Amino acid sequence: MKIVAMGRALPQYVLDNQELSGMVETNDEWITTRTGICQRHIAKGETVVALASQAARQALAQSGVPLESIGVVIVCTFTPDTATPSMACMVQKELGLPQTVLAFDLNAACSGFVYGLAVAEALMDRQGCHALVIGGELLSRLVDYTDRSTCILFGDGAGAAVVSPAGSRTVTDFGADGNAELLSGGGYNINGGREPLRMNGREVFRFAVSTVPGSIRRVVEQAGCTLEEVDHFVLHQANHRITEGVARHLGVNLDRFYENIVHTGNTSAASIPLALWEMQEKDLLHPGDRLVLAGFGGGLTWGAMLLNW
């Protein structure tokens, strides 16, 4: 499987730490030192469908892949505009993709994009087609802006990848462990209102730093290479300190981990494709580069993937 091109879309409105400090009792210094985040984009009228479609259009234009070659559309999200129609069906309509397309949403929270790529790879084998894998989230929908322990972290956005069945097979490692104590939200309460996102930050931190390094080691080992031979590590952008912790556990220099959390915050399933888009824009990705992607988060879920660019 090969990622042919990336696209991205971010809401126009930027909520910085200064403005957040006027909404809850917090300050720029606390947020930047504990999380690495200075600002996040927040939707004011934009929808998941609009952002996902914009990102997908950009990726398709850059890829040169004709619309008729797209046989699979997966939108990875746990904050869809509607449960039905799915965001993937709406993207099919927005982009005028063939009606023969297999289109569905995938909810694996912050691991969504990595899960989505793996599912797309399997489906492309069956269908003999290209795929569109999109991570699109409006976390601001579920954030309680009176809860200072969560509202500082999350942002909105979408990133899209056009994926081809050409190239070498990826190597993956996945896991899930049902747990509503550490991170939950988006359900309906007794009055029919949506439950906001609630999180035990310390425990989520521990879960991430103890699970992700093992998952990364397993894909590297299965691929028959070493950590030294990986060109880029692209982790879900949850918190700079989590990335630091994972790098330390692996004994890998932090500068091999791409980070953009400083200006996007945590955008869940959109965070890895947003990072890949930026890396492509900065010309950091070259044919044959070995990448390890790693997602982790709500569910709990986690997933690592080794692929060649």
Residues at the interface with ligand ACO (CB under 6 A): 26, 30-31, 34-35, 109-110, 148-149, 152-153, 183, 199, 201-202, 204-205, 238-239, 242, 266, 268, 297-298
Shortest Cβ 168–ligand ACO spacing (Å): 29
CB of 28 to ligand ACO, least distance (A): 10
> Which member of 41, 130, 232, 236 is catalytic?
236
For ligand ACO, which is the closer residue by CB, 57 or 241? 241
Which of 17, 107, 260, 266 is labelled catalytic? 266
The secondary structure of 270-292 as a DSSP string is GHHHHHHHHHHHTT---TT-EEE
Active site residue 266: yes
Using Cβ positions, the residue closest to ligand ACO within the complex turns out to be 201
Q: How far is the CB of 239 from ligand ACO (least distance, A)?
A: 4
The token pair that represents 154 in the structure block: 């999350």
* Cβ atoms of residues 35 and 198 within 8 Å: no
Task: Please name the residues in contact with 293: beta carbons below 8 A apart, sequence gap of 6 or more.
Answer: 113, 114, 117, 234, 235, 272, 304, 305, 307
DSSP 132-184: EEEEEEEGGGT--TT-TTTTTTB-EEEEEEEEES-SPPPEEEEEE---TTTEE
Task: Catalytic residue, from 110, 130, 240, 260: name it.
Answer: 110
Q: Which residues pair with 304 in a beta bridge?
A: 173, 294
Q: Given the complex with ligand ACO, which of 35 and 107 has the nearer CB atom?
A: 35
Q: Nearer Cβ to ligand ACO, position 10 or 110?
A: 110
Residues annotated as catalytic are 110, 236, 266
